Structure 1
Amino acid sequence: MLPWSSPLAGRIEHDIVHSELLRDNPLGDPHERPVYVYLPPGYDDEQDRRYPVVYVIQGYTGHVTMWFNRKPFVRPFPEMADDVFAAGGTPPAILVYVDAWTALGGSQFLDSPATGRYHSYLCDEVVPWVDARYRTLADPAHRALSGKSSGGYGAMVTPMLRPDLFGALATHAGDALFDVCYPSDFPRVARTLRDSYEGDYQKFLADVASRVHGTKDSDMSLIEIYGYAAAYSGNEDGTVSMPFDDTGALVPDVWARWLRWDPVRMAAQDGYAAALRGMKGIWIDAGRGDEYYLDLGATAFHRALGAAGVREENVHFELFDGRHGGIEYRYPLSLKWLCDRIAA
């Protein structure tokens, strides 16, 4: 395995989406966002052909250029995805790599007054931008969303919120079953805030902004929980309500705001259940040893689909030997499966 890039059978175009919805966002993040569009082999040769589209979104701390990072013995996903189409046997598709980075490390692909309108940006700006520039099959039956971790979360909730846009999804270890995957971190964060920042998140944010991020061991855990809170329990004035108090115990009214965004609970609601029943394909997987217990979340979401009346033949559910990281090899598997579903 070579440590440098290999030629692609298709090609990738780099461009910028000029987002009006992200302009003047609460965190002051850029409203001009990079977007990478993969065009499969044959795209330039068959000028009358239109293609299904898979939108690819990232986990917490992900930004779009990270797709091309090279780790030892692992090829980047854009190259593995190209292999899927170059090998033949898989219906060709356009892939769109979307950026939803924020100064807090992510947006959970939701609209929030504390971060910005990232759900609307994806649905109402990026999707039309792609359809206007490329030969897409501009219909939800031919449009899928795929992601891992927080990207897997976005892949679950976005089609429930917008079934008029997305008709299939793949979630790899996506955030789900909030009662299990999040609260175990709250006492540790509360203790760190008490001992290092007098219990005040604003003092942590001021401190981390004054130095290089990561120079204290607690930086990532503190910013991550705050980032989730900004997405799930951001207030109209831009402030953020935390779901736990200074003892790490849940604050019921704020925690309830988080739970309304849990994909497992959303799937039980009539409108969202109907959206899921209309999906052409739903891929769910996670490693059995996932450190955040997202294998349990995957299991719970799968069961919620059954309770919602989603036909099992439209679902791929799998727990595999692995943890939360190092599962990039799973992405081409779901990509092939999705393309088979959304091509027809």
Structure 2
Amino acid sequence: MYHQLIRVHRFRFSFLLLSGLVFLLTWPCYSQSSFARTGKVERIKVHGKGLEGNLAGDSPDRDVSIYLPPSYGTDKNRRYPVIYFLHGFTDSDDKWYGLTKHWISLPAVVDKALAEGKTKEFIIVTPNAYNRYFGSMYSNSATIGNWEDYVATELVAYIDKNYRTIPQASSRGLAGHSMGGYGTMRIGQKHPEIFSSLYLLSPCCMIPSLNGPTNPEMAAKLEGVKTQAELEKADFFTKAMFASAASWSPNPTNAPFYVDLPVKDGQPQPMVTARWAANAPLATLDQYVSNIKQLHALAFDAGSKDESIAANIKILDGMLTNYKIPHTYEEYDGDHLNRIAERIEQKMLPFFTSNLVFEVRKKR
């Protein structure tokens, strides 16, 4: 009888232990797969030689947020494709990476896509392009420094040297939202030798206004900003005008902002607006058709309620179609922000999963 009781208790203990293990392995909050599919975020500083001496006085040592995929810490011999993701105007890398409260957390979106099997693993890199003017437009300028070169050459070189990347264009993607979408097209159409695939999410600034702030009230507001403190308090449109001027119409003799605005003494400045137009991807696309044809894949989208941007990417679709350049274009039901996380999860990440190369190609 005593031995029978012992056997019963042992059976019950074993059953409870097994049940507990099954519970831990199957309950979503504690499952092995849940732990295994969570990436890691690092935030580092990457110096930009081309950002040194910028007239705005911004540091050339830039914060950079990096998402390392779940297997990066355990599979020490594995190398990964990289997506360089560019944030939007007035945003910063820490906001997108869940380090500061924001409307999106990119790591959470990627982790969700991995858990649902919608994407392969990537390293994702985002530099902090927030500056004195609230955004760099990812352009080269004496006023803000050479941001285009920083992203395309200096940052890529640093990441390849310090992380287990697959250091080849076929394994590098470039993407971004809003100002970052603009930067993606601007940089990507010039550098197919660095980035092979591009995804533009609601890209801004594809066709800058050729007339500038012609409304007298807007012009007066723009010219009324005399100090940095006043610029900090300005509305979004005014800030965007200063950022555009700092990026596309710098003036090293015009302190304190070192820019030429598109209006002076209430009058439009045609030369300034011409300089802005020369930086519009839709105006320059014809010059880079041979480069764009070298890209492996190109996709872009925008919400239908984001009317001006949706209209501009429809023009981009038409231009690429005329040149018989393969691409993916979609206008969906949404605005500038409300479905971006969903688009990244369901469209952007699968796009790069399908189009980037996941192994090192041997040189011939």
Same fold at TM > 0.5: yes
User: In the alignment, which of 271, 275, 282 is matched to residue 253 of structure 1?
Assistant: 271
Aligned partner of residue 54 in structure 2, secondary structure: coil
Q: Take 1:220 and 1:75, find their aligned partners in 2: how far apart are those partners?
A: 20
Question: How far apart are 1:176 and its partner, in Å?
Answer: 4.2
Q: In structure 2, the residue corresponding to 1:50 is in which secondary structure? A: coil
> Is there any run of 5+ residues in structure 1 with no aligned partner, and where?
none
Query: Is structure 2 residue 296 aligned with structure 1 residue 283?
Result: no
User: Once structures 1 and 2 are overlaid, which stretch shifts more, 110-119 or 298-307?
Assistant: 298-307
Judge conservation of contact 2:137–2:247 (CA < 8 Å) in 1: yes
- Aligned mate of 1:10, from 17, 39, 56: 39
1:83-109, Cα deviation, whole Å (9 max, x unpaired) = 222333522211112111110011110
Q: Give distance in 2, aligned partners of 1:44 and 1:285.
A: 34
**Partner Cα distance (1:281, 1:236) in 2:** 39
Rounded Cα–Cα distance in structure 2 between residues aligned with 1:219 and 1:149: 18
Q: Pick from 190, 213, 222: which aligns with 1:186? A: 213
Residue 294 of structure 1 aligns to a residue in which SS? helix
1:307 aligns with 2:333: no
| Equivalent position of 1:233 in the other structure | 249
Deviations 1:229-256 (A, max 9, x none): 111111354632223455564x332222
Q: Which residue does 1:326 correspond to in 2?
A: 338
Aligned length: 318
Deviation at 1:13, TM superposition (A): 1.9
Aligned 8 A contact 1:276 1:305 in 2:
no
Greater Cα offset, 136-145 or 325-334? 325-334
Separation of aligned partners in 1, 2:118 and 2:174: 21
Cα distance, 1:54 vs. partner? Answer: 0.2
Give the AA of the match of 1:297.
Answer: N
The unaligned stretches of length 5 or more in structure 2 are 1-28, 359-364
Decide which moves more: 317-326 or 236-245.
Answer: 236-245
Kindly indicate whether the alpha-carbon contact (under 8 Å) linking 2:86 and 2:175 is maintained by their aligned counterparts in 1: yes
1:294 equivalent to 2:309? Answer yes
Give the counterpart of 1:265 among 264, 268, 283.
283
CA distance in structure 2 between the aligned counterparts of 1:174 and 1:245, rounded to whole angstroms:
29
Mapping of 1:1-344 within 5 angstroms?
9-67=38-96, 68=98, 69-70=100-101, 76-178=105-207, 182=209, 186-188=213-215, 190-194=216-220, 199-201=223-225, 203=226, 205-208=227-230, 213-214=232-233, 218-237=234-253, 239-247=258-266, 249=268, 251-269=269-287, 272-290=288-306, 293-311=308-326, 315-329=327-341, 330-332=343-345, 333-343=347-357
Q: Which contiguous aligned blocks of 4+ residues in structure 1 show a shift greater than 4 angstroms? A: 245-249
Superposed CA deviations along residues 36-66 of structure 1, whole A, max 9, x for unmatched, are 2111122233333221110011111111111
Distance in 2 of aligned mates of 1:299 and 1:146: 18
Question: Which residue identity lines up with residue 149 of structure 2 in the other structure?
Answer: S
How many Å separate the matches in 1 of 2:161 and 2:84? 15
| Distance change >3 Å, CA 287–CA 247, structure 1 → 2 | farther
Contact 1:40–1:85, Cα closer than 8 Å, also in 2: no
Deviation at 1:208, TM superposition (A): 1.3
Query: Given the two structures, how large is their TM-score scaled by the length of structure 2?
Result: 0.80
SS at match of 2:189: helix
RMSD of the alignment, in Å?
2.5
**Which residue type is aligned with residue 82 of structure 2?**
V
Aligned residues with identical type, % of pairs = 27
